[in-house]
Chains A and B, each alone.
Chain A
């Protein structure tokens, strides 16, 4: 299949692995920011192709995983209201809030509908004028333009029964939070290609400079990821710290300006709580005051009393540390025991992009050893931590 098979070619993958092996002279810890990349790494066993000195750790780039439990509680409450239909992308449905998940809310009679795009939600609002259609707008910069378009179209079509429960988060502030943490052991980043398709990568340049960390914009196919690793390692070994673009077939430095303009029109930047991590300044999107009428939190204020974003995380769940690259999923004491996809303690065990789900699904037990990877729970060697300049 075009645009897929050529990026899964075994010969090319082996050549890239050999290039990485030839380059590496010392241990390096790299973070793949996006959960989609994590799944590709584990699904295709890419870490088995890497030399032991290159360790991959997982980042906070699964939007479902970082959505606070309190927001899920709000979505569940809204889904249970008699006149509301709650629309969500599928992988949000099994993620636990503090009191169940959306799938259980559906089973209990709540009107929860899986949508495949914001346009589906618009169509529902048009077809059911008697129901309030609430959209659980979760995602990174990737899905924000589509939700922004939905807001603009709802306004243009004078749909008064559509609103958004906004849970959008932004990647660069998360990278900054990781690099400014004293516990960080990340020395290079594979940045998420699809986020950069929308936003470009100019925002990453000050970060690469300030923290002296290579950032390579990387795609999602095996060859993309191996090439991204090769580029980061080559920078590290030669003492460089720049932003490079592996995903040039999709990403330009300035991104998609039309998409950015739509997002800018509808949303503004604000603080956001990240599940398991905490609040990160200027890391979330919220509707601008001009669109407050489409904000579900405003519209259903009376129904959401007692529920807030800041519900406590399950303290048994170490997913916050997994999402910051401080722990491998298998290092968590609850992994595979108290925490499984059937009985998840945290979001990364149940979503399609969750790091814990990837390890559980593709690596269950010891049947497939992660060949070639260092166990990465030890901090990097002294002197490797890179503080701000």
Chain B
């Protein structure tokens, strides 16, 4: 096990804190408010168009920190490996994590590895925890959402979920769809540096855009109105959703977020977001409105209205 840790993880993650091989990682904290988060990743298959479980585990935790306005600093990585997993696969995942972390400017400084019997895990499960620092005085929380706030979406929705589905169980679609998995902290940092008063941020992961908006509306006790015609969806994603009876607004994303900000800063925020590849299709999709009793109301392509409710369980493909 020690050899595995040395050969795979210490080598891939390559930093002095991890190389100390102590029971925990130690460092000096910069000034500010600490942010701390953790998430587990159990995606199947492990490799999919546009990403893999390793990069996903890094991006996901970075994004949870970013949504608090934090600058991510350090990650931990816990691995549960199924007996029989090839070393090559493990190397690929570790390399992918290392590359994603390096590109994002964060370090993986501590971790853990366990091996379980064959059949007890789906190849690899990865848990990452992350620590970051929020600039002092900054508060990005649902309770700061105000009626009249603009709702900005950072790009097209549904690509991650459809990309994973496209390589699962032999379901293939016309048109190539890649996961949108990406770190978002630099977009958020630029918004903060640009003087945008970020009332709240939320990444649209499992449950998609609709669930993210629903959760924010419920937490802030406000209504929201969004316009379906403004929400970008890649044509191949739309096609796959039509075929399977899925609603793209509920399909998972790994590199998309919504920002709720004062209406008069919306254009400036969109301009800043569009400078980043991860948010180049940023667009205003609606506004916060307290009239609707905490409901998120969607104006459809036909100009009619309907609710965006929380999904019960997963979306399941339909019979016909």
0/1 string, A340-372, CB within 8 A of B gives 1: 111000000011110000001111110110010
The answer on a CB contact under 8 Å between B312 and A367 is no
Choice from B171, B244, B300, B309 contacting A361 with Cβ under 8 Å: B309
- Asked if B295 is at the interface of the complex by the 8 Å CB criterion, the answer is yes
Query: How many A residues, CB 8 Å from partner?
Result: 51
- Asked if B137 is at the interface of the complex by the 8 Å CB criterion, the answer is no
B3-11, B108-116, B176-184, B234-242: which one contacts chain A?
A: B234-242
The answer on a CB contact under 8 Å between A120 and B170 is yes
The answer on a CB contact under 8 Å between A116 and B295 is no
Q: In the complex, which of the residues A10, A140, A360 has the most CB atoms of chain B within 10 Å of its own CB atom? A: A10
In whole Å, how far is A56's beta carbon from the nearest beta carbon of chain B?
14
* Chain A residues closer than 8 Å to B245, beta-carbon distance: 36, 91, 352
* Chain B residues closer than 8 Å to A364, beta-carbon distance: 295, 307, 309
Nearest residue (CB) in B for A47 is: B304
* Interface positions of B from 268 to 320, Cβ below 8 Å from A: 292-293, 295, 297, 300-307, 309, 312-313, 316-320
Choice from B307, B312, B313 contacting A368 with Cβ under 8 Å: B307
* Chain A residues closer than 8 Å to B169, beta-carbon distance: 114-116, 120
The answer on a CB contact under 8 Å between B301 and A8 is yes
The answer on a CB contact under 8 Å between B305 and A94 is no
- Asked if A162 is at the interface of the complex by the 8 Å CB criterion, the answer is no
A38-46, A178-186, A285-293: which one contacts chain B?
A: A38-46
Nearest residue (CB) in B for A34 is: B320
**Distance, CA A274 to CA B178, complexed state (A):** 43
* Chain A residues closer than 8 Å to B300, beta-carbon distance: 43-45
* Chain B residues closer than 8 Å to A353, beta-carbon distance: 318-319
* Interface positions of A from 7 to 47, Cβ below 8 Å from B: 8, 10, 13-14, 36, 42-46
- A10-B301, A367-B297 known; A90+B320 contact, CB < 8 A: no
The answer on a CB contact under 8 Å between B304 and A49 is yes
Nearest residue (CB) in A for B304 is: A45
* Chain B residues closer than 8 Å to A45, beta-carbon distance: 300, 302, 304-306
- Asked if A139 is at the interface of the complex by the 8 Å CB criterion, the answer is yes
* Chain A residues closer than 8 Å to B306, beta-carbon distance: 42-45, 362-363, 368
In whole Å, how far is B44's beta carbon from the nearest beta carbon of chain A?
13
* Chain A residues closer than 8 Å to B293, beta-carbon distance: 365, 367
The answer on a CB contact under 8 Å between A1 and B319 is no
- A43-B300, A222-B302, A342-B312 known; A114+B307 contact, CB < 8 A: no
The answer on a CB contact under 8 Å between A4 and B312 is no
* Chain A residues closer than 8 Å to B309, beta-carbon distance: 360-362, 364
- Asked if A163 is at the interface of the complex by the 8 Å CB criterion, the answer is no
| 25 contacts across the A-B interface (CB closer than 8 A) | A1-B235, A8-B302, A10-B301, A44-B301, A45-B304, A45-B306, A48-B304, A48-B305, A49-B302, A90-B316, A91-B316, A94-B316, A116-B317, A120-B170, A123-B170, A143-B320, A341-B313, A352-B316, A362-B307, A365-B293, A367-B223, A367-B293, A367-B297, A368-B305, A368-B306
| A interface list, Cβ under 8 A from B | 1, 4, 8, 10, 13-14, 36, 42-46, 48-49, 63-64, 89-94, 103, 114-116, 120, 123, 138-140, 142-143, 194, 222, 340-342, 350-353, 360-365, 367-368, 371
Q: Which 8 pairs of residues, A with B, have the shortest CB-CB distance?
A: A45-B304, A90-B316, A341-B312, A367-B295, A352-B318, A362-B306, A90-B317, A48-B304
